[in-house]
């Protein structure tokens, strides 16, 4: 029986940006922005999403990844009670909730770091951070040095080999499970986290809640090093992300298909996306916006656990600048976003419903059927069932024949319900430029 995350279609929120929270956290007043986020829950359902990745949420000083307090919801968004209600509403709507786990580093205002600043060598927390050196100095003139994430000294790196640090963070996760009833964690900077720490986390969280999901942020490398029975259930599939927009821009389906084949052993477990809070919007990356729908068609039907980044359903654009990600994390009141709804929104909603409704997409085997630069068809296999996706990335109409690898008499277009006959074991298709179809094969 499939787990909830194998059947998941995610919506991704960056709440500090989407609600227009101030970038700098000043003062202790609570502003309840969850009242606004509550309104997005029916919208997620309409898109066919049954899971939410939301974060960062820990009390922090600026962008959310410089944690001050792991047991407080950021007061720019609300308080713990507001988030408890939000998760309850999500669960009532059949939506699982996954939050950011920022465990590689803290902010400088975290209590352990401030204790080192105050008590120096006598602090009991000197071993909580990597590379603490009282014979050196930091750019902040602390009188000591320390390892910082990618040289950003506002983000001192935790020592995840320290048993006290590990136990503290595992207690934090238990607090979030017990208090908020979260269903999983997306591990920030998983590519640099200590492997033993992640193995112990898998053991601990498995005891906290049944089917608790661990997904890691990993950009490069052999994803199998992280995704296995001992560590994480999933990681971010940046390789597919890159091949999707690059392959469409170059009219080169070979790039996409090659990537899918390379990751075939793990592909169905990986978290797939077209854009996120760190990447330029797909609507800005594609040279031809007529291919937006095609990009989402591939996202929802290729192996993986698909996600929609807020605003993507409306074709929102955004490019990071050299020193800011703000354009990737815009404030979008729901009413303003919904005013942008159109064919793309309806198309994505239909794809979301297809993905969650068809078991072939919940870990089903992938089989390549046709591959040229501009035409691509593949099957996803269930137990005695099959769905075929066919796509045309040419600007012009294209007719081609797709082999059906089972005995069948017809196929149903899952987008509009029309029936296409299977003749001599083949589907004869004519697709307009930059379009595709998702076909349920009706076996004899």
Q: pLDDT (tens digit, 9 = 90+) per residue, 120-143?
A: 999 999 999 999 999 999 999 999
Q: What is the pLDDT of residue 131?
A: 97
Q: What is the pLDDT of residue 138?
A: 97
- What letters, b where the CB count within 10 A reaches 16 and e where it falls short, cover 370-383? bebebbbbbbbbee
Q: Considering only CA atoms, which of 105, 76, 101, 64 is closest in space to residue 277?
A: 64
Q: What is the pLDDT of residue 307?
A: 98
Q: What is the pLDDT of residue 435?
A: 98
Q: Which residues of the chain have pLDDT under 50?
A: none
**Beta strand 67-73 with 58-60: parallel, antiparallel or unpaired?**
antiparallel
Q: What is the pLDDT of residue 326?
A: 94
Q: What is the pLDDT of residue 2?
A: 85
Q: What is the per-residue DSSP string for 251-280?
A: T-HHHHHHHHHHTTTTGGGSEE-S--TTS-
Q: What is the pLDDT of residue 444?
A: 64
Q: pLDDT (tens digit, 9 = 90+) per residue, 225-276?
A: 999 999 999 999 999 999 999 999 999 999 999 999 999 999 999 999 999 9
CB 310 within 8 A of CB 338: no
Mean pLDDT of the chain: 97
pTM value is 0.97
Q: What is the pLDDT of residue 107?
A: 98
Q: What structural domains and CATH numbers belong to the chain?
A: 5-361 (3.20.20.80), 365-443 (2.60.40.1180)
């Amino acid at each position: 029986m499939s787990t909830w995350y194998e059947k998941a279609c995610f919506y991704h929120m960056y709440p500090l940006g989407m609600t227009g929270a101030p970038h700098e956290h000043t003062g202790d007043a609570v502003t309840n922005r969850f009242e606004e986020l509550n309104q997005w829950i029916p919208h997620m359902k309409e898109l066919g999403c049954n899971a939410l990745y939301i974060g960062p949420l820990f009390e922090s000083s600026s962008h959310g990844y410089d944690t001050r307090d792991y047991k407080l919801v950021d007061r720019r968004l609300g308080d713990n009670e507001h988030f408890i209600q939000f998760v309850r509403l999500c669960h009532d709507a059949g939506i699982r909730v996954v939050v950011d786990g920022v465990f590689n580093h803290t902010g400088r205002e975290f209590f352990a770091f401030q204790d080192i600043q105050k008590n120096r060598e006598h602090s009991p927390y000197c071993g909580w951070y990597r590379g603490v050196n009282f014979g050196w100095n930091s750019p902040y003139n602390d009188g000591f040095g320390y390892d910082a994430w990618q040289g950003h000294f506002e983000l001192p790196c935790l020592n995840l080999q320290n048993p006290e640090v590990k136990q503290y963070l595992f207690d934090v996760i238990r607090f979030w499970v017990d208090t908020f009833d979260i269903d999983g964690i997306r591990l920030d900077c998983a590519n640099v986290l200590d492997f033993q720490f992640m193995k112990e986390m898998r053991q601990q969280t498995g005891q906290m809640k049944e089917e608790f999901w661990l997904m890691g942020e990993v950009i490069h490398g052999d994803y199998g090093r992280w995704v296995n029975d001992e560590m994480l259930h999933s990681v971010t599939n940046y390789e597919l992300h890159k091949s999707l927009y690059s392959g469409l821009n170059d009219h080169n389906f070979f790039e996409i298909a090659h990537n899918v084949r390379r990751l075939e052993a793990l592909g169905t477990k990986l978290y797939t996306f077209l854009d996120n809070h760190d990447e330029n919007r797909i609507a800005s990356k594609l040279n031809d916006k007529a291919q937006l729908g095609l990009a989402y068609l591939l996202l929802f039907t290729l192996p993986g656990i698909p996600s929609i980044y807020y605003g993507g359903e409306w074709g929102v654009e955004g490019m990071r600048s050299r020193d800011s990600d703000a354009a990737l994390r815009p404030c979008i009141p729901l009413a303003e976003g919904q005013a942008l709804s159109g064919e793309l929104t309806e198309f994505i909603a239909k794809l979301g419903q297809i993905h969650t409704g068809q078991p072939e997409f919940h870990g089903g085997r992938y089989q390549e059927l046709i591959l040229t630069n501009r035409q691509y068809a593949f099957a996803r296999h269930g137990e005695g069932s099959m769905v075929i996706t066919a796509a045309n990335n040419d600007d012009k109409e294209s007719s081609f024949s797709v082999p059906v690898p089972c005995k069948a008499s017809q196929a149903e277009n899952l987008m509009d319900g029309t029936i296409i006959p299977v003749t001599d074991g083949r589907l004869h298709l004519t697709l307009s430029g930059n379009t595709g179809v998702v076909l349920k094969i009706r076996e004899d």
